[in-house]
Amino acid sequence: MFYTLTELPELATEVSLGVIGNPIAHSKSPQMQQAALDEARLPYRYVRLLADTEEGSFEAMLTALYRRGFLGVNVTVPFKKKAFAAAVKADALSTLCGAANTLVRREDGWHCHNTDGPGFERAILELSGRSLADMRVVLLGACGGAGSALAAQCALSHCRSLTLVNRPRPELAEMAANLSPHYHEQIATCHFGTTELQQAVAEADLIVNATSLGLKEGDPLPLSADQLHPGQIVYDIVTHATPLQQAAAKRGCTAADGLGMLLWQGAFAFEHWFGRLPSIEPMRTALK
């Protein structure tokens, strides 16, 4: 179930948090965040919100939510860059990557944060016991809303090496240039299907799929499974099993979906709204 802009007047007064996206019906955030709210005995409800992709529609929904008294919202595809642009104040990571996934109501308007990066870093640590600083990272889909946040987080965490991968787009080189002052090594960039990508994957400790490939059944793999080898970590930010994860596991890799990242980015968003981290295990149980 979700609500559109025209349906906002129907919401009960205790509905004060939500997640905005398009599509949004698949989002697992409500079950996870509601578990955190209930455990903390906070009298709020968290719902799905569907915004149109037409120009100005997302901004109109934000205005309506602010006037209604919403405490905050999460933002997912395809609105993370618009969320950053709509905020009156942004944190360092949002500013660096130009995208935000968390908005907090303040007296002067929406303040934005990006918890995708910290959530990703915490998920990788939980999965592998290793920090990003210890890893050579290849990031597929670096120019997307989530990919840009993960690229910024890897740079700020000073991973051992960083390769940003995308389809040929001017933003790729621009992103590397923007991140370079915050990183101790040269940031490599390459495109899908190139020998440069094959070499980077062969040397990587962590391969991250931040593309949309895997969201739909029948999607192709973002890279050939033959390039993977045992001991590597393949992390797919899609929150369900995908052909990439299955192929990576068959090659002897540690493969995981994005539920860990979803969990921790949600926990850090809760912290921005209420000034404290929530109980993690109720959230984890709700996702399962």
**Which residue numbers are catalytic?**
80
Per-residue CA distances from 43 to 73, 107, 152, 164 (Å): 16, 21, 35, 43
Tell which phi-psi region holds residue 53, choosing left (phi > 0), alpha (psi between -120 and 50) or beta.
Answer: alpha
Q: Any idea which residue has 């033959």 for tokens?
A: 226
User: What is the residue whose two structure tokens read 């590397």?
Assistant: 176
Q: What single-letter DSSP state applies at residue 182?
A: G
Say if residues 280 and 267 touch (Cβ distance below 8 Å): yes
The conformational region for residue 180 under phi > 0 = left, psi -120 to 50 = alpha, else beta, is alpha
Query: ω into residue 78 within 30 of 0, thus cis?
Result: yes
Q: What are phi and psi of 242, to 5 degrees?
A: -130, 165
- By C-alpha distance, which of 176, 254, 257 is closest to 214? 257
